[in-house]
Amino acid sequence: AQQVERIVGEAGLCSPLYELFDGSRGGFARVDAELTAFIDSTAAIELEPLYTGKALMLLRARVEAGGFAPGTRLIFVHTGGLQGRRGFE
Residue 50 forms part of a structural domain: yes
CA nearest neighbour of 35 among 45, 48, 22, 46: 48
CA 77/CA 73 separation, integer angstroms: 13
pLDDT digits (tens, 9 = 90+) for 43-79: 788 888 888 888 899 999 999 999 999 998 888 877 7
CB atoms within 10 A of CB 4: 10
Residue 19 backbone zone (phi > 0: left; psi -120 to 50: alpha; other: beta):
beta
Residue 83 forms part of a structural domain: yes
Domain count, the chain: 1
Structural domain including 58 reads: 24-88
Residue 38 forms part of a structural domain: yes
Residue 17 forms part of a structural domain: no
pTM of the model: 0.71
Residue 67 forms part of a structural domain: yes
Residue 2 forms part of a structural domain: no
CA 27/CA 35 separation, integer angstroms: 13
Residue 48 forms part of a structural domain: yes
CA 85/CA 44 separation, integer angstroms: 16
Q: How much is the mean pLDDT over the chain?
A: 82
